[in-house]
Amino acid sequence: MRKSSEVVIIGGGSIGCSVAYNLAKKGVKNIVLLEKRYLASGSTGRCAAGFRQQWGTKTNCMISRSSAKIFKTLSEELDYEDIEYRESGYLLIAYEERQVRMLEKNLKLQNSLGIPSRKLSPDEARKIVPYLNTDKMEAAFFCQEDGHVNPFKVTFAYARAAGRLGVEIHTYTKVTGIQTRGCKIRSVVTDHGTIATDTVINATGPYAKLVGQMLGLSHPVEPERHQILITEPMEPMMGPMVMSMPIRLLPNWEMKRDFGEDCPVSKWSATINKDEFSSSIPNVSNLNSFSRRVMQYAALNVHFGQQPDRHGYVFPPWFLLPASSAWWLHYGLW
Ligand SMILES: Cc1cc2nc3c(=O)[nH]c(=O)nc-3n(C[C@H](O)[C@H](O)[C@H](O)COP(=O)(O)OP(=O)(O)OC[C@H]3O[C@@H](n4cnc5c(N)ncnc54)[C@H](O)[C@@H]3O)c2cc1C
């Protein structure tokens, strides 16, 4: 491991690896990325792989619109065979008038920013997802340019491209402390040695608060537990991701199985958030009857302050540390 570095990035998820690549591409030399387990071992490798532009704030809409643009050509840019970015659509279902009003307001905002989302009647929604139970449905909202992308492949693609640009990546290297003098960062301490640096990027997702505490900072980021169920491979039943507003149901039928040699967790298949699945899609109400569960787990996502997350943040250093050292907190989007 290098003894000193211009920038140390903590966290080898999609955010840390993307930041590493983009900094190196912009000409920053001597970057080290530290990951306590393997790449994508955190929230990134446990998520439902959904990607959407249907948001309710201008910032989120613009971040995801710009991300969509990047995803479209990312495989080529990173010289990676296929990150599996698929615009198979995202269908948001509303069961109450209150939700419809909120989604209509969001729709107006999205359309004003060029996001081609639209409102559908229950019958129109069923044409897109024939298995949908439309009994109590008020309306649905759909954007064909949403969909999913393989989070492992995105992370590995960024990591490899960053490596080609000279970024040094150390997996199974845990950051245990950050040393300072006055308000300046001096070095990052790991279980494999110490690296002198004055710039640290905290890309540790749900662990961001813990890592911030190493500097005596209190980031308003709270971990949140989410449930995922993974089945054995099964016939695809629907194209889009389906999300019901009250229960946040996210079936993803198309996630591919093989994540390559970089990932100890291989051979995954579809991921399904099972909570109250049966009420929306009755034909698959009893998952046990037609599909064996391969894996079920709870994983950590993040809350920002008191609000549920669903936001992407990049905090400038002055927000957190009013000094010449740079401390950046990068934070994922859902
Ligand atoms: C069940 C579930 C479903 C989700 N579904 C979606 C979805 O469909 N679409 C979507 O956009 N988002 C989804 N998300 C959210 C998404 O997974 C996260 O926003 C995103 O992966 C965050 O990436 P990250 O790189 O910031 O964090 P992470 O992937 O968690 O990476 C942080 C890394 O930091 C490492 N780390 C922590 N502490 C240290 C330390 N001290 N030293 C070294 N390394 C350290 C961790 O090991 C980890 O690998 C979901 C999340 C969950 C839990």
**pLDDT (tens digit, 9 = 90+) per residue, 69-85?**
999 999 999 999 999 99
At residue 30's C-alpha, the angle toward residues 179 and 317, to 5°, is 50
* Cα distance between residue 14 and residue 254, in whole Å: 20
| Span between the terminal Cα atoms of the chain, in Å | 33
> Ligand 1 pocket, 245 CB below 6 A?
no
CA of 289 to the centre of ligand 1 (A): 32
In the numeric block, which tokens belong to residue 221? 């980021």
> Ligand 1 pocket, 33 CB below 6 A?
no
Atom number of ligand 1 nearest to Cα 50: 8
3-state secondary structure 84-143: CCECCCEEEEECCHHHHHHHHHHHHHHHHCCCCEEEECHHHHHHHCCCCCCCCCCEEEEE
Confidence class for position 329, pLDDT limits 50, 70, 90: low
Confidence class for position 138, pLDDT limits 50, 70, 90: very high
Asked whether the CA dihedral 38, 43, 46, 48 is positive or negative, the reply is negative
Candidate ranges 42-56, 122-136, 179-193, 206-220; pick with highest mean pLDDT: 179-193
* Cα distance between residue 125 and residue 114, in whole Å: 22
Nearest to 123 by CA among 109, 103, 137: 137
Greater model confidence, 334 or 216: 216
* Cα distance between residue 217 and residue 328, in whole Å: 12
Atom number of ligand 1 nearest to Cα 299: 53
CA of 189 to the centre of ligand 1 (A): 22
Atom number of ligand 1 nearest to Cα 241: 8
CA of 206 to the centre of ligand 1 (A): 7
Distance of CA 26 to the CA centre of its chain: 23
What are residue 32's DSSP bridge partners? 8, 168
pLDDT of residue 320: 33
> Ligand 1 pocket, 160 CB below 6 A?
no
Distance of CA 147 to the CA centre of its chain: 13
Nearest to 36 by CA among 10, 63, 15: 10
In the predicted model, what is the mean pLDDT of residues 17-32? 95
CA of 131 to the centre of ligand 1 (A): 31
- Residue whose CA is at the smallest distance from ligand 1 atom 21: 44
DSSP assignment letter at 62: H
pLDDT of residue 278: 52
Residue with tokens 């897109």: 128
* Cα distance between residue 87 and residue 69, in whole Å: 12
* pLDDT over 90 percentage in the chain: 51
Strands 139-143 and 117-120, bridge-based pairing: antiparallel
CA of 72 to the centre of ligand 1 (A): 22
In the predicted model, what is the mean pLDDT of residues 261-271? 42
Atom number of ligand 1 nearest to Cα 174: 42
Atom number of ligand 1 nearest to Cα 332: 19
CATH topology of domain 50-149+233-291: D-Amino Acid Oxidase; Chain A, domain 2 (3.30.9)
* Cα distance between residue 257 and residue 264, in whole Å: 13
* pLDDT over 70 percentage in the chain: 70
The residue whose CB lies within 8 Å of the most ligand 1 atoms, and thus the one to mutate among 301, 328, 329, 331, is 301
* Cα distance between residue 32 and residue 115, in whole Å: 37
CATH 3.50.50.60 residue ranges for the chain: 7-45+153-221+310-331
* C-beta of residue 125 within 8 angstroms of C-beta of residue 70: no
Q: How many CB atoms are closer than 10 A to CB 104?
A: 14
Candidate ranges 86-90, 128-132, 267-271, 298-302; pick with highest mean pLDDT: 86-90
3-state DSSP assignment of residue 43: helix
- Residue whose CA is at the smallest distance from ligand 1 atom 4: 47
> Ligand 1 pocket, 223 CB below 6 A?
no
- 232 Cβ partners below 8 Å, 6+ apart? 269, 291, 292, 293, 294
Atom number of ligand 1 nearest to Cα 330: 26
In the numeric block, which tokens belong to residue 262? 């970089």
- Residue 313 corresponds to which amino acid? Y
pLDDT of residue 308: 38
The pTM score is 0.84
> Ligand 1 pocket, 334 CB below 6 A?
yes
Strands 147-148 and 168-170, bridge-based pairing: unpaired
Average pLDDT along the chain: 79
The residue whose CB lies within 8 Å of the most ligand 1 atoms, and thus the one to mutate among 8, 9, 32, 44, is 44
- Residue whose CA is at the smallest distance from ligand 1 atom 19: 332
Distances (CA, A) of 6 to 13, 167, 178, 198, 286: 20, 11, 15, 7, 54
Arch. (CATH architecture) of 7-45+153-221+310-331: 3-Layer(bba) Sandwich (3.50)
* Cα distance between residue 323 and residue 244, in whole Å: 45
- Residue whose CA is at the smallest distance from ligand 1 atom 9: 50
